[in-house]
Structure 1
Amino acid sequence: MQALLRASDRFLTIAARSHARAAALLLLFGLLAFTPGLFAMQPMDRDEPRFAQATKQMLETGDFVDIRFQGEARFKKPVGIYWLQAAVVSAAEKLGVPDARHQIWLYRLPSLAGALFAVILSYWAALVLAPRREAFAAALLFGATILIGVEAHLAKTDAAMCATAVVAFGILARLWTLRRTASITIGETFAFWIAIGVSFLLKGPVVGGLFALAAVALSLRERSAAWLRPVADWRAILLALLIVAPWFAAITLKSGSAFFSEAVGQDMLGKVAGGQEAHGAPPGLYLLIMPATFWPVSALFLAVIPYLWRNRSDDLVALCLAWIVPAWIMFELIPTKLPHYVLPLYPPMAFLVMKALSDGADMSRGRWRAVALGLLPFIPILFAGAAAAAVFVLEPGGAQRFLPLIWAAPLFVLAIGLAFIGARAARRNAGLALAPILALATIALSWSVYQNAWPALRSIQLSPRLAEAARAAGCADPRMATVGGYNEPSLVFLTRTDLVMTNGVGGAAFMAGDGCRVAFVESREEKTFLDEMAQRSATPRLLTRVSGVNINRAFERDRRTLRVMDFGVYLRDTSRP
């Protein structure tokens, strides 16, 4: 262990020799931690393929103002992430990537870039708070957390928004730290307002609201808001408005008040008023899941809480708590809860851990610290057990079903071993040398889960398997329908925008039409479908059968019986004799 700690300490010293080296090493770490599974994982229902499909429809129609999923307006979020995804997919098409519009990994690249920027910008944000070595360790700790890794893998807004939030926090940190001695530069002022403008196009007023809450809390502590004056530059504010206004004007002209009615009235205020889309939960959920979503840093954060309480009047601690505490309380009080809502609060939480470690906070004694540090090995053990249990429950067959996990097993063991070393080293007050060790544990866990364990669950990959069966139909560009209630957005994304969703009777009417047609008929509607086809004297050909589990409706109504869906993939082609 001592040799590993010495190597870890040496790594931090080497990384801190220049800003360029620190940024390059953080980029390398991010690529190692965030890219596993990026190409292997299917579109993750339901939010990810909704975003990707709306982008695909923009490319199909050439309308980059209106946001739609099939025929319905999708006005929950502004247009920013769709434009980023469309730019990537368009570039991929020009570079000759086959079937680019159906490749989910291309739509994930803006999220990957957002996560990488968030990690590197965390280093920049921390530089005003600590020396280069400590700032690098803080950024490494944040990048090692599970939640930023999850969001890097999903084609939606949160990783990119997190990068803008880190910029806003970095400017707040500079305003606060320099309030009595100097001021931020005009470039930093413009950077702040550009970040606010971009964040508004990504997810509305979230980042601006976080900044405002923290600024109010710090102003109350300072008994003055004069320290915020340097950021109030009308030229920079005008630039932010120029970033935001054109699309909002265009969507208003196109939809009238529909966008604001849905985005503000239904989505934002609806989440405040009550739990939406079955995501309601009581206050305290984020604290309950934080040990997993903020792992491995959560264990250290919980262990240093006594230190943070004793040092709550410290400028750095006060700054980070002002960003974290009011926003955390707000998120806990909002009935609708999703794990990624608190992601912008994790960078300053990592900074607090960095502060405690660099100050030599004692973690060698106390039952509380022992329990907290026990989370380090417990979480990867939990993931390994969950992977094995998922294969056992979801996959058919005997012992051979576990063979796809053969490469995941040693990686899980490595992650668990590094976590045990990290816990033991923390009990010996190893300080910042913990950061690279925990980063390695995250890399091992990422490769085991995203690249090996998740793709091994073939039974939950219904949409990719159905789409593959349709491509094997032998006719170009067949019309398609899903019959029997499997209406997941991933199936729309992987097949056709005009995918018909219907029942057995409607499926038969669809298949009676001209041309090449494919229907995915769930077994519960199959008899009705075939009877209706017989009455129409139109006999479809069964291409294959596909069975599996819809991860969003994995159990029957009794909540105990696994619901295995079985599809007949039928073809009827009137263009052939």
Structure 2
Amino acid sequence: MVETYARPRFGEPREPKNRVNPGGRLVGALDFVSGSHFRAVAFLTLCALLLFLPGFFNIPPIDRDEARFAQATKQMVETGDFVDIRFQDDVRYKKPVGVYWLQAAAVESASALGLPHAQLRVWLYRVPSLIGAIGAVLLTYWAALTFVTRRGAILAALIVGSSVLLGAEARLAKTDAMLLLTVVAAMGALARVYLSWQRGEDPEHPPWTWPAIFWTALAGGMLLKGPLILMFVALTIVALAILDRSATWLWRLRPLWGLMWMLVLVLPWFVAIFWRAGEAFFADSIGGDMLSKLGAQESHGAPPGVYLLLFWVTFWPGAPLAAMAAPAVWRARREPGAQFLLAWLLPSWIVFELVLTKLPHYVLPLYPAIAILTVGALERRVLSRSWLRRGAAWWFVIPAMASVIAVIGAITLTRQPVFLAWPFVAAALIFGLFAWWLYDDNRAERSLLNAVVAAMFLAVAIYGVVVPALTPLFPSAEIARALRNVVCVGPKAAAAGFHEPSLVFMTATETLLTDGSGAADFLGQGSCRFALVEQRSERGFVQRAEAIGLRYNVATRIDGYNISQGRAISVAIFRSEGTE
């Protein structure tokens, strides 16, 4: 079971024949924080905040998923009903209630503390994602300690925290960052149980801590995204059982007590929603959402191999090192640590590649396993010396491409060069260049740290400066701002041709989503009413207004771009002047 030959185990540092002192302040900082767990946790928390906070507060709600989640939570807060999940009058049963409760807690807490208009501040709905992302970074560190040194665990956590995909999810009011936290917690506990069995440690009195973390994490994951977390765990266990021809170590998880504890946490809401909605929730969430992903749901179909292609961007800056580590990881595949991590990674990755519906965030819970495997090879200094080493240039290519796209996009959409982003772009390019030029087998650690710093500057440039400046991409925010500036009290609105969830969230739950004719009828039913009519629906609005004798004027017109539909839009805000 456990290897007994002399060469280092997976993740154990191996001295290079010719030691080269990597030097540099970044490596010196890593030396310092590696001295204790407290310093490591404080350092990783600070790095996570630097990576995730830029843009967190000032990017408007993103269509469509984030706005849908936020609006459903907003309605929970408005109605006081924390069992049912709705978007306006439509049920929203694709996901369980977990993230809605977390978002509602953030909003209610802010309101209790006196923050004005808390329900309209989308960043409050993002707080659980921020906590989930920071927690996932810290739990990656905790899980990695099972496989590598403290120094290596810090590097693994930095790889996960600086990844492009987690940076995006940390800023979105959705389930995926919190799901990552629960998956890493469960897999970290599972790894400790499995490796203690591999080492032949005393099975008579297994600790309660690891099973408690494992089963609690499973319950949290199920409340967040249904049985998906069970897939990651089950595929890992099945793969290990096949490779080891034994699964007796599972008894160390105290499954009988654990299952009962998990059911205590999960069942109350599932019983409540079944009592409220009958079979509708399970039909929509399992049949309508989960099983439908076997096909190309919502035009998100793609062939196998797409996740592997996206990996080079979504896992940057860890992707180049992961490629260099891959041959060594495969050679070590039968060592207990590498075997567990590959069992966590490969079966679920294959499933996601085979399923037709593909969205980048689906594979996020597998990234910690890749990060730990990568650091294990880095610590042993067995990174590939083949052509994959040329992939170090990727540390510079991504900042260069992202910077060019961001600046050109800003100029195209706003006619402004966004000069404030340029110093941060320059810093990202410089550190990306350092990461590339300084790379060799004995200085891979130094290159990685430079790449992480490049990711921090890139986050400030893109999320903190460029994206908030792209106001045409957020027409709902401009429409809501225009409605807040009207002189009447309690404005009501109807939207025709522009029905994005962000509009409902930014205006009011009662905002009517209709067509041009319906918007004209709505406008004629009272004062302080506004029709938000997209240009393609104006003909229907005008014809119906003429038919009912409605007099109106254009309060303002907002031009923008609907990122959900990929087309330019122009929304006129009409106000009634009465009827003839």
TM-score range, shorter chain: over 0.9
Q: Distance in 1 between matches of 2:98 and 2:342?
A: 30
Residue range with higher mean Cα deviation, 520-529 or 508-517: 520-529
How far residue 223 of structure 1 moved from its aligned partner, in angstroms, is 1.2
Aligned counterpart, 2:571:
567
Counterpart pick for 1:306 among 327, 334, 340: 327
Q: Distance in 2 between matches of 1:60 and 1:132?
A: 46
Residue range with higher mean Cα deviation, 78-87 or 352-361: 352-361
5 Å-filtered alignment, 1:191-210, equals 191-210=213-232
How far residue 239 of structure 1 moved from its aligned partner, in angstroms, is 1.4
- Residue 173 in 1 paired to residue 191 in 2? yes
Residue range with higher mean Cα deviation, 344-353 or 454-463: 454-463
Specify whether residues 5 and 573 from structure 1 end up closer, same or farther in structure 2 by C-alpha distance, changes over 3 A only.
farther
Q: Distance in 2 between matches of 1:573 and 1:474?
A: 14
How far residue 362 of structure 1 moved from its aligned partner, in angstroms, is 4.0
For 1:506, give the aligned amino acid: G
Aligned counterpart, 2:407:
388
Q: TM-score normalized by structure 1?
A: 0.93
Q: Distance in 2 between matches of 1:281 and 1:389?
A: 28
- Residue 514 in 1 paired to residue 532 in 2? no
**Runs ≥4 residues deviating over 6 A:** none
- Which 5+ residue runs of structure 1 have no aligned equivalent? 556-563
Aligned counterpart, 1:558:
none
Secondary structure of 1:17's aligned partner: coil
Q: Deviations over 1:194-219 (max 9, x none)?
A: 00001100001111211111111112
Aligned counterpart, 1:152:
170
For 2:80, give the aligned amino acid: G
For 1:228, give the aligned amino acid: L
How far residue 137 of structure 1 moved from its aligned partner, in angstroms, is 1.5
Q: Deviations over 1:130-182 (max 9, x none)?
A: 22121112111211111111110000000000000001110121022211224
- Residue 266 in 1 paired to residue 288 in 2? yes
For 2:574, give the aligned amino acid: Y
Specify whether residues 447 and 111 from structure 1 end up closer, same or farther in structure 2 by C-alpha distance, changes over 3 A only.
same
CA contact (8 A) 1:119 1:143 kept: yes
CA contact (8 A) 2:381 2:441 kept: no
Q: Distance in 1 between matches of 2:366 and 2:291?
A: 21
Q: Distance in 1 between matches of 2:242 and 2:21?
A: 47
- Residue 442 in 1 paired to residue 461 in 2? no
Specify whether residues 379 and 5 from structure 1 end up closer, same or farther in structure 2 by C-alpha distance, changes over 3 A only.
farther
How far residue 8 of structure 1 moved from its aligned partner, in angstroms, is 2.1
5 Å-filtered alignment, 1:466-485, equals 466-483=479-496, 485=497
Aligned counterpart, 1:123:
141
Question: How many residue pairs align between the two structures?
Answer: 555
Secondary structure of 2:298's aligned partner: coil
Residue range with higher mean Cα deviation, 102-111 or 229-238: 229-238
CA contact (8 A) 1:122 1:166 kept: yes
Q: Deviations over 1:96-137 (max 9, x none)?
A: 111111110000000000000000011111112122121112
How far residue 3 of structure 1 moved from its aligned partner, in angstroms, is 9.9
Specify whether residues 229 and 472 from structure 1 end up closer, same or farther in structure 2 by C-alpha distance, changes over 3 A only.
same
Counterpart pick for 2:536 among 524, 527, 551: 524
Q: Deviations over 1:249-282 (max 9, x none)?
A: 000000010000010111111112x010111111
Aligned counterpart, 1:549:
561
Aligned counterpart, 2:6:
none
Counterpart pick for 1:235 among 234, 257, 261: 257
Residue range with higher mean Cα deviation, 117-126 or 386-395: 386-395
For 1:569, give the aligned amino acid: I
For 2:58, give the aligned amino acid: A
Specify whether residues 349 and 505 from structure 1 end up closer, same or farther in structure 2 by C-alpha distance, changes over 3 A only.
same
- Residue 188 in 1 paired to residue 178 in 2? no
Specify whether residues 211 and 528 from structure 1 end up closer, same or farther in structure 2 by C-alpha distance, changes over 3 A only.
closer
Q: Deviations over 1:399-458 (max 9, x none)?
A: xx21xx212122122112212211233335314334432221111111111011111212
Counterpart pick for 1:244 among 243, 246, 266: 266
CA contact (8 A) 1:473 1:571 kept: no
Q: Distance in 2 between matches of 1:498 and 1:37?
A: 29
Q: Distance in 2 between matches of 1:315 and 1:99?
A: 53
Specify whether residues 362 and 111 from structure 1 end up closer, same or farther in structure 2 by C-alpha distance, changes over 3 A only.
closer
Q: Distance in 2 between matches of 1:38 and 1:374?
A: 30
Aligned counterpart, 2:343:
322
Q: Distance in 2 between matches of 1:28 and 1:211?
A: 30
Q: Distance in 1 between matches of 2:301 and 2:267?
A: 33
Secondary structure of 1:312's aligned partner: coil
Aligned counterpart, 1:84:
102
- Residue 107 in 1 paired to residue 120 in 2? no
CA contact (8 A) 1:8 1:434 kept: no
CA contact (8 A) 1:516 1:573 kept: no
5 Å-filtered alignment, 1:313-352, equals 313-352=334-373
Q: Distance in 2 between matches of 1:352 and 1:278?
A: 34
Counterpart pick for 1:495 among 487, 491, 507: 507
Counterpart pick for 2:244 among 222, 230, 255: 222
Aligned counterpart, 2:59:
41
CA contact (8 A) 1:5 1:434 kept: no
- Residue 12 in 1 paired to residue 30 in 2? yes
CA RMSD of aligned residues (A): 1.7
Q: Deviations over 1:479-503 (max 9, x none)?
A: 10112x1110000110111211222
Q: Distance in 2 between matches of 1:32 and 1:77?
A: 30
How far residue 345 of structure 1 moved from its aligned partner, in angstroms, is 0.3
Secondary structure of 2:146's aligned partner: coil
Q: TM-score normalized by structure 2?
A: 0.93
Q: Distance in 1 between matches of 2:208 and 2:176?
A: 28
How far residue 339 of structure 1 moved from its aligned partner, in angstroms, is 0.4
Aligned counterpart, 2:15:
none
How far residue 233 of structure 1 moved from its aligned partner, in angstroms, is 3.7
5 Å-filtered alignment, 1:410-429, equals 410-429=423-442
Residue range with higher mean Cα deviation, 528-537 or 118-127: 528-537
CA contact (8 A) 1:129 1:177 kept: no
Secondary structure of 1:552's aligned partner: coil
Counterpart pick for 2:382 among 350, 361, 382: 361
CA contact (8 A) 1:361 1:429 kept: no
CA contact (8 A) 1:517 1:573 kept: no
How far residue 476 of structure 1 moved from its aligned partner, in angstroms, is 2.0
CA contact (8 A) 1:304 1:356 kept: yes
For 1:189, give the aligned amino acid: P
